[in-house]
Structure 1
């Protein structure tokens, strides 16, 4: 989100602001944001829109509590809280009917705010073409989303559902072939572990990650052309923490694009039968995307990684870094130190 102060024109302005909070159009989401009188966001939290209505009260309470904790020093009387409910475009009732279905979420959010002495000044239901105010009484047919002012144009921003779909495990004949390759690789890896132990496998895998990224950097190999057996070996061994950490450490300027290409290729190659194995490369893709300045992709990738394997330590670690506002160069300094202690110093 730009640091430029923006004067918002009522609910319409809030709708125009929404994608700029994330650098993408959130869908299947509930968002709570603090907004200054000049229209600048004070902090915002997002969560998936629960399909089960019994989860709506707890989600509302968690969002308000999280926003209050994160922005406690900023929530002055002249500031306001606004909520957005963004349905899943795949919902068969997408539009006016789904707005009515999800109306209780706004009531839960308002109640959670009231219990904390906060005021929810607006809740907006946003589809791709229309918006509704959820706090007004009486019938509301919704309003078409008008053309935004130039400073709030979001034409080039991706939609979260499209990005998440691109990161979903692959299906079809190629996925079946890759699953068979992974099955064979699992058996081979099991034999190696029995004969040489886990550490031998980890050491070889660290060398393999380093060598693969080096070849991608020089252009001797393209990530999309990596053989299935090599991709399978990487997908399996990246599940070891030390191998995964090696991937994080390859974060120099001359390595980032190649590493990002590798992680994305592995995520695309991972079949649905091995969905949980896609979580690490997707999370590593999130890290390299963040390092390359693509915050929108990085956060969506973390969401995709969490969907593949809930509770993955790497995902939670990276989310903490992103939410803390950490500087990438500061993070890279620590990665360089670890890389040196591992006997794998930075090279051009």
Structure 2
């Protein structure tokens, strides 16, 4: 879950061009608004201010060592190990976040289940609603998959303001922790541990014993030293930094020729919008848009690799001219064209397609921010199709932030959050492509890397980017 999980539209807002992909998602079990948007029944705080019971001494989870073909059980025995393990449970380091982790009973120990994250609302008046949304979303989502949690672990992660302290953060967030414990308790899923992680320390909201949980907090220790961190490292699993770093790959960059890009979008709009609105011209614009996208996919695929996310993104930005980006951004506003572009979701097409959609999303600045919904949705779809659920959820949430009524993004976001298999959508897209081309396998857009690119792969600066 993300801050954008409440940003949804109505299924009736979609037009006929959405029906094929929407139906594929509905066949996957996704239909209508997400649980977090459903009306919440009233309930009472049955436990009042009485804290839930302390956890059992051991909380265990399992992690799979794919490189070795077996499964090992890892046991976490302290709040410190829980706090250090959090980035490995999520796959990234949470910032300014509420994180709920479900526990399932196994032989008297807790076994980690589903996780849900929500940004901490800036307005304290929004905390009760956020607590309700997060608790109900995780419990009902887990129950739908047949694994209703028995207990919860809560993490509140926030760094102090300049001049502030972690203890101040802990005290400030105490009402939020209480609201979350109440909401989980009302669902008969008690919070057995609630930790505030801030400024290199952690505090427990469930224990006031000064011997084990001092008021000054407990130092976290060296990051990555828990048994789960060691197991994850041994298994080849990596923590991907923060969500802020991931989102930066999808947001317009300051100082990146914003005025020039907006001028190119203005010019492209004058040429393309009348043609898109014309029934006869719409198909022609779609073909031109897709041919241009294919050329850019080949250009990106042929570019020399570079190491690091930022250098890679800068290289891709230099490979795409402003007029090319503007033409694609506006062309993808036609949903039939967007659905055709969504077919580049696997094999050799997937990696350059994801790079292209990221680069286009970064060009949607200023008054064109809403236009980012299409490339962000495509980026989220390709990420989900290729197994990267973290980037998929964030890209789709950002698409809903750009346009809350973007139906394809909303359904994909819900499906990804529900842990559904994207294969049903892939089958739908393969079927559409084969019925159109008569080719059951379909042609890769990058199979002839470098062919048909009239400018020879030259970027907006006039020369090929070398990385």
User: Are 1:84 and 1:123, in contact at CA under 8 Å, matched by a contact in 2?
Assistant: yes
Query: Which of 213, 231, 240 matches 1:151?
Result: 231
- CA drift of 1:228 comes to 0.9
Q: Aligned partners of 2:238, 2:354: CA distance in 1, in Å?
A: 25
Q: Aligned partners of 1:242, 1:91: CA distance in 2, in Å?
A: 49
Q: 1:188–1:14: structure 2 CA closer, same or farther, 3 Å change rule?
A: same
Q: Does 1:42 align with 2:113?
A: yes
Query: Which residue of structure 2 lines up, in the alignment, with residue 21 of structure 1?
Result: 89
Query: Which of 367, 371, 395 matches 1:301?
Result: 395
Q: Does 1:142 align with 2:217?
A: yes
Q: 1:242–1:155: structure 2 CA closer, same or farther, 3 Å change rule?
A: closer
Higher helix proportion (structure 1 or 2): 1
Query: Which residue of structure 2 lines up, in the alignment, with residue 9 of structure 1?
Result: 77
Q: Aligned partners of 2:274, 2:215: CA distance in 1, in Å?
A: 65
- Output aligned runs, 1:215-226, within 5 Å: 215-217=299-301, 223-224=316-317, 225-226=319-320
The 3-state SS of whatever aligns with 1:30 is strand
Q: Aligned partners of 1:121, 1:339: CA distance in 2, in Å?
A: 51
- Output aligned runs, 1:1-348, within 5 Å: 2-3=63-64, 4-36=72-104, 38=109, 40-72=111-143, 73-75=146-148, 79-87=150-158, 93=164, 95-127=166-198, 129-137=200-208, 140-146=215-221, 147-149=225-227, 150-152=230-232, 156-172=239-255, 174-193=257-276, 196-217=280-301, 223-224=316-317, 225-343=319-437, 345=439, 346-348=442-444
TM-score normalised by structure 2 residue count: 0.66
- CA drift of 1:219 comes to 6.0
- CA drift of 1:142 comes to 2.1
- CA drift of 1:155 comes to 6.8
User: Are 1:171 and 1:272, in contact at CA under 8 Å, matched by a contact in 2?
Assistant: no
User: Over aligned residues, Cα RMSD in angstroms?
Assistant: 2.9
Q: Which stretch of structure 1 is more off in the superposition, 305-314 or 258-267?
A: 305-314
Q: 1:92–1:267: structure 2 CA closer, same or farther, 3 Å change rule?
A: farther
The 3-state SS of whatever aligns with 2:437 is coil
- CA drift of 1:319 comes to 1.8
- CA drift of 1:317 comes to 2.2
Q: Aligned partners of 2:291, 2:385: CA distance in 1, in Å?
A: 23
The 3-state SS of whatever aligns with 2:63 is coil
| Unmatched segments (≥5 aa) in structure 2 | 1-61, 65-71, 305-314, 445-467
Q: Aligned partners of 1:228, 1:320: CA distance in 2, in Å?
A: 33
- CA drift of 1:20 comes to 2.5
Q: Aligned partners of 2:349, 2:256: CA distance in 1, in Å?
A: 32
Q: 1:318–1:5: structure 2 CA closer, same or farther, 3 Å change rule?
A: farther
Query: Which residue of structure 1 lines up, in the alignment, with residue 8 of structure 2?
Result: none
The 3-state SS of whatever aligns with 1:122 is strand
Q: Which stretch of structure 1 is more off in the superposition, 288-297 or 250-259?
A: 288-297
Q: Aligned partners of 1:128, 1:36: CA distance in 2, in Å?
A: 30
TM-score normalised by structure 1 residue count: 0.86
Q: 1:87–1:314: structure 2 CA closer, same or farther, 3 Å change rule?
A: farther
Q: Which stretch of structure 1 is more off in the superposition, 316-325 or 172-181?
A: 316-325
The 3-state SS of whatever aligns with 1:40 is strand
Q: Aligned partners of 2:80, 2:169: CA distance in 1, in Å?
A: 20
The 3-state SS of whatever aligns with 1:26 is coil
Higher relative contact order (CA closer than 8 Å, sequence separation 6+): 2
Between structure 1 and structure 2, the one with the greater Rg is 2
* Total equivalences in the alignment: 345
Q: 1:308–1:92: structure 2 CA closer, same or farther, 3 Å change rule?
A: farther
| Unmatched segments (≥5 aa) in structure 1 | none
